[in-house]
């Protein structure tokens, strides 16, 4: 996984909490890809999502949240949530301060209630300052974006019928693995 720079899983799990069940499976000293595959095989999907989110570089991680969110949207998706997703996608394509602040605005307007609003939040938390305008700059904690990405991907997987949940998790994790391998997050045919 060329995009995940951590040599061991321990480097990533110091930034988030694994589930109790996942802690019995994951060996901190092994490369992250081994842990991701073990979590996937053991059906510890949320833990696999967290591990990938913390391993990917910021833009790739936010892009993964965008891919997942795009797949979960339907004809009934509120326009504001579509705008929030578009703002996150815009930040990935052109990570300017203007695009980052627009993502924050739309995440807040959508009340942090959807995969799209958390994808937009991830874009906002990826750089710059999170302090109010006029206050001294406060950079976001280094891995804060990854928590928003994991939330976005998990919420995207939860959209839809319960019977398809496992399949959606596997699909989204497979796309995250593709991104980690240097791909574009597409599924192989």
Reported pTM: 0.95
Q: Is residue 107 part of a domain?
A: yes
Domain-located, residue 94: yes
The dihedrals phi and psi of 75, each to the nearest 5 degrees, come to -60, -25
Residue 77 included in any domain: yes
Structure tokens at 170: 């596997």
- 């490369």: which residue's tokens? 31
In the chain, how many domains are there? 1
- The Cα–Cα gap between 1 and 181 comes to 4
Distance set, CA 107 to CA 3, 13, 77, 135, 167 (Å): 27, 27, 15, 21, 27
pLDDT of residue 187: 72
* Residues in the chain with pLDDT values less than 50: 189
Cα-Cα-Cα-Cα dihedral of 140, 143, 149, 155, to 10°? -100
Q: Which domain holds residue 62?
A: 58-158
| CA-angle at 90, arms to 112 and 59, nearest 5° | 80
Residue 135's CB is within 10 A of a number of other CB atoms, namely: 9
Which pLDDT does position 159 carry in this prediction?
A: 94
Assess if residue 177 is contained within a domain.
no
Task: Tell me if 133 is assigned to some domain.
Answer: yes
């Amino acid at each position: 996984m060329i995009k995940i720079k951590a040599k061991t899983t321990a480097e990533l799990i110091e930034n988030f909490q694994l589930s109790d069940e996942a802690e019995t499976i994951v060996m901190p000293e092994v490369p992250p890809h081994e842990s991701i595959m073990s979590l996937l095989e053991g059906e510890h999907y949320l833990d696999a999502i967290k591990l990938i989110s913390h391993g990917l570089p910021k833009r790739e991680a936010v892009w993964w949240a965008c891919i997942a969110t795009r797949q979960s949207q339907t004809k009934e998706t509120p326009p504001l949530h579509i705008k929030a997703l578009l703002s996150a996608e815009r930040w990935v394509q052109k990570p300017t301060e203007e695009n980052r602040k627009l993502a924050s605005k739309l995440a807040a307007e959508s009340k942090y209630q959807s995969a799209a609003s958390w994808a937009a939040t991830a874009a906002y938390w990826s750089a710059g300052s999170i302090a109010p305008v006029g206050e001294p700059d406060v950079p976001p904690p280094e891995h804060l974006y990854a928590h928003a990405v994991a939330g976005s991907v998990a919420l995207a997987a939860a959209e839809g019928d319960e019977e398809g949940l496992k399949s959606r998790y596997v699909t989204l994790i497979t796309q995250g693995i593709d991104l980690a391998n240097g791909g574009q997050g597409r599924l192989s045919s």
